[in-house]
Structures are given as structure tokens and as C-alpha cells.
């Protein structure tokens, strides 16, 4: 292997595959290696047999009543894609949309005072919603109109407030909204994971709400989310195809990929099976360079197989339900994610639900109970926890660009923020995501 690559990417997790695609499109010479013999790394999708092997060991076989193994595509990091969000922009920017089929997600719900409530998708739903009393609805409507009309470049729409300085808490208090309303707006619409956003400048909060509203309007569905048919395992493979089209090289099943450094501690290549490929930069997930990352938390998750939709979600076949931290007396939110045969991730009549949260204890069964209890009867349930890592290295010195681990959220916004920041660090350029959003469409229900 005498040729030198611009970048060697280690691991085929979603972040690594997106970067490999983006860098190849930019004309960089990319070699992509993975110790596993499958795509997706942490964010892979498993069929039923693989799921059993991973959680129950090789000796036990899945019950026949669950249907055919290959009809299951169970995401290990389940997340929905917000329709006008940055992941969709990246998909359009790279033209990866041609390899994928998306379908809108039926519903977005929030847990409030012990009940599951639909997140209102329009003015009419907002007026009927049990989330607020009548006077509160009027106040909330004024606030929503302010958010809707807010344009960063048009001072007339700012109502005299500089959102780069004024906190979210201050703006909300200006409209006199109640705590429960703030809870649902901050967590189910703006998708904040905890309440720290209240004391940050309000611009990000308002932009997130606008993104939610625009995404909701996009497919006139009951939620702002879309999700690929056959699950998220399709995404890394689509970006891998893209990279290959632009000359990227892929090698799966490469054991013990060892990053080589020169005397100054700069990455210069990767050795596997006695051969070293040279490169200028390394991109990888935390598992490849464990001494350059630190643990910052862990995610607890339950994976459930059911034969019915989540109760009180209007029989939705695909759904996100957010349980804000305050409603459960926790430090961070809990997320329920459900999809089914309508997205081709399970045989007909089967539903797959996930309950996930940032772990605050060592007992996932106890900690996830409030979410699991909302699911109704469950045929099979698997629990797991995994550690979350962030890089601690200086990529300017060692030329190693390490992604952060996936968080507990059931949407992709935080994931893509990490990819965009890494892209800028690797290339010194800003990723241009001003694209024509109408280029991506979701298939209508048959």
C-alpha cells in the first residue's frame, strides 16, 4: 500500500459514513475501514436473529410467533429525522436521497400530568389540546405567532428584543406561560434535553421552534419527522455508495485497525493485518482511539417487540413520545420511539418500541419503567446501557477527528451538529447547507 490517502475513516457508523461521503464529494481521497463485517457500527440495524444473538446469546432462538427474522430491521440507535432539519439538508446536498425512500412519521406526543397528549400540529389542534386551559391557549397562541413571524434579519419582527442576549426564560415570561406549557414547548417542540436552555440566549430556542413548525408543515402529516423505509441501517450504506461513486475505497472486516503516529504524535496511517495505509488525517468513532476520549455519561435503553401501537397515540404506526424531565422528577428527558411494519422494520402486525434516557442510575429496568409502563403489553423486552464518550484530543496536533457517542434523543439534530462541526475542523470550510428542500420527498401511504 504505497499510496497515501487524504483521510482514513475508521468505523461505518452513521457519522463516519456521512463524513466519508462529504469528503469524497469534496474530492479528497478517502479509505474507509471497519473492524466489523457489517455497515453501521453503533448505529446498525439488526434482524431478529442478530438481535437475539446480541442480547440473549447464540444458544437461544427467537420464538416463531414473532415472524420471519429478515423482516426485522431493529435500529440500535433509533432516531427520527426532522423534515427540514440539517440531516435532510446533508442528504440533498450530497444527492444521497436517490438511494433512500422516506415516509412521514404519524405522530408526535408529549407526556403531561400522567397523560399522553398529542403535540398540536396546527392552530385547530392547539385549541382542542388538553395540554392547556383556555386562557393559557390564548397566551400560547400569541407566543407562537411571535415565533412564526420572527425573522433574524428583520428587526421589525423582533418586538424590541435582541435574542442573542435575552434568555429563553425572559421571552417566555413576557408571554406569561405556565410551567407545564413551558415544559412541552421546550422539550417537545424545541427538543431541548433538559432545562438549561432557559438561561441561554433565546435565539437557538426560537430557531428550533421555527424548524419544528416548518417541518410539520412540510408533509402535512401529524408530526415533523420522517424515517427511512427499512430503518436507519439504510443511511450508512447510502453514504458508503456515494463515497464509492466519488472514488472512496471501502474495506469491511479489517481486524485490529491500529492508528500509527509519528514522533510528534501526529497520525500518519493505519495498520491492519500487517499492512499500513498512509494518510494525512484520521476520522473515527471513540472505540478506535480509547485513550483520546473520556466518558461523559451513559444511555439506558429498552427495546420492545409488541403486536399493537402504543396506547393513547391514535393507533399511530410510528410515533415519538417525549417525557419531559420535570414530569418524571428526573434530570433529563425520557424518549419513546415506535415504528412498525408500515416502515418495513417488522413483519405485518408487529411494532418495535424503544424507551431511552440519559442514565441516572445503574438500574435500567427501574429507571425506564415510567416509559415501558406506557407501552401496554410487550412480547419481548431487551435492556441495555452504553457509555457516551467525547473526544479530549487536540485535532490540530494529532490530526485525529473523533465523533462523540450518540445521545438518548430520538431525533438526529445533535448527531448532525457533530458531523457539521467535524467537517469544518477537517476541511477548514463551512458546509453549505442552503439547498432546495423540495428535492426530498416522503412517500405517501399506500
CB atoms < 10 A from the CB of 106, how many? 23
Lowest mean pLDDT among 10-19, 183-192, 215-224, 418-427: 215-224
Residues 397 and 265: beta-carbon distance below 8 Å: yes
**Cα–Cα distance list, 109 to 118, 183, 316, 333, 380 (Å):** 4, 13, 11, 13, 24
* Structural domain includes residue 135: yes
pLDDT at 444 over 60: no
227 beta partners: 103
**What is the number of structural domains in the chain?**
1
- Cα–Cα dist 146/268, whole Å: 53
Whole-model pTM: value is 0.90
pLDDT at 446 over 90: no
User: What number of CA atoms fall less than 13 Å from residue 219's CA on the CB side?
Assistant: 25
Q: Which residue has the cell 383556555?
A: 134
In three-state secondary structure terms, 23 is: helix
Element (H, E) at 128: helix 123-128
Burial class (CB in 10 A: 0-12, 13-18, 19+), 181: buried
CATH number at residue 141: 1.10.405.10
Burial class (CB in 10 A: 0-12, 13-18, 19+), 397: exposed
Element (H, E) at 238: helix 234-245
**Cα–Cα distance list, 206 to 166, 178, 197, 361, 377 (Å):** 11, 18, 11, 33, 38
185 DSSP 8-state letter: I
pLDDT at 2 over 80: no
pLDDT band at 180 (very low <50, low <70, confident <90, very high): confident
Q: What are the pLDDT digits (tens) for 132-148? A: 888 888 898 899 899 99
Q: 27 — alpha (psi -120 to 50), left (phi > 0) or beta?
A: left
* Structural domain includes residue 211: yes
* Structural domain includes residue 445: no
- Residue 167: what pLDDT? 96
pLDDT at 200 over 80: yes
**Cα–Cα distance list, 45 to 34, 146, 411 (Å):** 16, 41, 16
Q: Which residue has the cell 480509547?
A: 290
Helices (H), 309-412: 325-328, 364-367, 369-372, 395-398
Listed as own residue / partner, the contacts of 47-51 with beta carbons closer than 8 Å and 24 or more positions apart are 47/71, 47/72, 47/73, 47/74, 48/72, 48/74, 51/303, 51/382
Q: What are the phi and psi torsion angles at 292 (to 5°)?
A: -115, 15
Residues 197 and 190: beta-carbon distance below 8 Å: yes
DSSP one-letter string for 244-296: HHTT-EEE-S--S-EEEE-TTS-EEEEEETTEEEEEEEEEE-GGG-GGGEEEE
* Structural domain includes residue 51: no
- Residue 376: what pLDDT? 96
- Cα–Cα dist 247/96, whole Å: 15
20 DSSP 8-state letter: H
Which range of 84-93, 352-361, 426-435 scores highest in mean pLDDT? It is 352-361
Domain span including residue 199: 114-218
* Structural domain includes residue 161: yes
pLDDT at 175 over 90: yes
Residues 368 and 334: beta-carbon distance below 8 Å: yes
Residue 267's nearest CA partner among 256, 254, 278 is: 278
- Cα–Cα dist 121/23, whole Å: 37
- Cα–Cα dist 181/225, whole Å: 22
Q: Counting every residue, how long is the chain?
A: 446
pLDDT at 345 over 50: yes
* Structural domain includes residue 235: no
* Structural domain includes residue 325: no
Burial class (CB in 10 A: 0-12, 13-18, 19+), 77: buried
Radius of gyration of the chain (CA): 22
Task: Tell me what percent of the residues of the chain surpass a pLDDT of 90.
Answer: 67
- Residue 445: what pLDDT? 47
* Structural domain includes residue 251: no
pLDDT band at 442 (very low <50, low <70, confident <90, very high): low
pLDDT at 439 over 80: no
Residue 78's nearest CA partner among 411, 333, 419, 342 is: 411
Supply 203's cell numbers: 435565539
Amino acid at each position: 500500500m504505497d499510496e497515501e490517502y487524504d483521510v482514513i475513516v475508521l468505523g461505518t457508523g452513521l457519522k463516519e459514513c456521512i463524513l466519508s461521503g462529504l469528503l469524497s464529494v469534496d474530492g479528497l481521497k478517502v479509505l474507509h475501514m471497519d473492524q466489523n463485517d457489517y455497515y453501521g457500527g453503533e448505529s446498525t440495524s439488526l434482524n431478529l436473529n442478530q438481535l437475539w444473538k446480541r442480547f440473549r446469546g447464540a444458544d437461544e432462538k427467537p420464538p416463531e410467533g414473532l415472524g420471519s427474522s429478515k423482516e426485522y430491521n431493529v435500529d440500535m440507535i433509533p432516531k427520527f429525522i426532522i423534515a427540514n432539519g440539517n440531516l435532510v439538508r446533508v442528504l440533498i446536498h450530497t444527492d444521497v436521497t436517490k438511494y433512500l425512500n422516506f415516509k412521514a412519521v404519524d405522530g408526535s406526543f408529549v407526556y403531561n400530568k400522567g397523560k399522553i397528549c398529542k403535540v398540536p400540529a396546527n392552530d385547530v389542534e392547539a385549541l382542542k389540546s388538553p395540554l392547556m386551559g383556555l386562557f393559557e391557549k390564548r397566551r400560547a397562541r400569541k407566543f407562537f405567532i411571535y415565533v412564526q413571524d420572527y425573522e433574524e434579519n428583520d428587526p421589525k419582527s423582533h418586538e424590541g428584543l435582541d435574542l442573542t442576549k435575552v434568555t429563553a426564560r425572559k421571552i417566555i415570561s413576557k408571554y406569561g406561560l405556565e410551567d407545564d406549557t413551558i415544559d412541552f414547548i421546550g422539550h417537545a417542540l424545541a427538543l431541548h434535553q433538559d432545562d438549561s436552555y432557559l438561561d441561554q440566549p433565546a435565539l437557538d430556542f426560537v430557531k428550533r421552534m421555527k424548524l419544528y413548525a416548518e417541518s410539520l408543515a412540510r408533509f402535512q402529516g401529524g408530526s415533523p419527522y420522517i424515517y427511512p423505509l427499512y430503518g436507519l441501517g439504510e443511511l450508512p450504506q447510502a453514504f458508503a455508495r456515494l463515497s464509492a461513486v466519488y472514488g472512496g475505497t471501502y474495506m469491511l472486516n479489517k481486524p485490529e485497525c491500529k492508528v500509527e503516529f509519528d514522533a510528534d504524535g501526529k497520525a500518519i496511517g493505519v495498520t491492519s493485518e500487517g499492512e499500513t495505509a498512509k494518510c494525512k488525517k484520521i476520522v473515527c468513532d471513540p472505540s478506535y482511539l480509547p485513550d483520546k476520549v473520556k466518558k461523559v455519561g451513559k444511555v439506558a435503553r429498552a427495546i420492545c417487540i409488541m403486536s399493537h401501537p402504543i396506547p393513547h397515540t391514535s393507533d399511530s404506526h410510528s410515533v415519538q413520545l417525549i417525557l419531559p424531565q420535570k414530569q418524571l422528577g428526573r434530570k433529563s428527558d425520557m424518549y419513546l420511539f415506535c415504528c412498525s411494519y408500515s416502515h418495513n422494520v417488522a413483519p405485518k402486525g408487529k411494532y418495535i418500541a424503544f424507551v431511552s434516557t440519559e442514565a441516572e442510575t445503574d438500574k435500567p429496568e427501574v429507571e425506564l419503567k415510567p416509559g415501558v409502563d406506557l407501552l401496554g403489553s410487550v412480547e419481548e423486552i431487551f435492556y441495555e446501557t452504553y457509555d457516551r464518550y467525547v473526544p479530549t484530543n487536540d485535532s490540530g496536533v494529532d490530526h485525529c477527528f473523533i465523533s462523540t457517542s450518540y445521545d438518548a434523543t430520538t431525533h438526529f439534530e445533535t448527531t448532525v451538529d457533530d458531523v457539521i462541526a467535524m467537517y469544518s475542523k477537517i476541511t477548514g470550510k463551512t458546509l453549505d447547507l442552503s439547498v432546495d428542500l423540495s428535492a426530498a420527498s416522503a412517500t405517501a401511504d399506500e
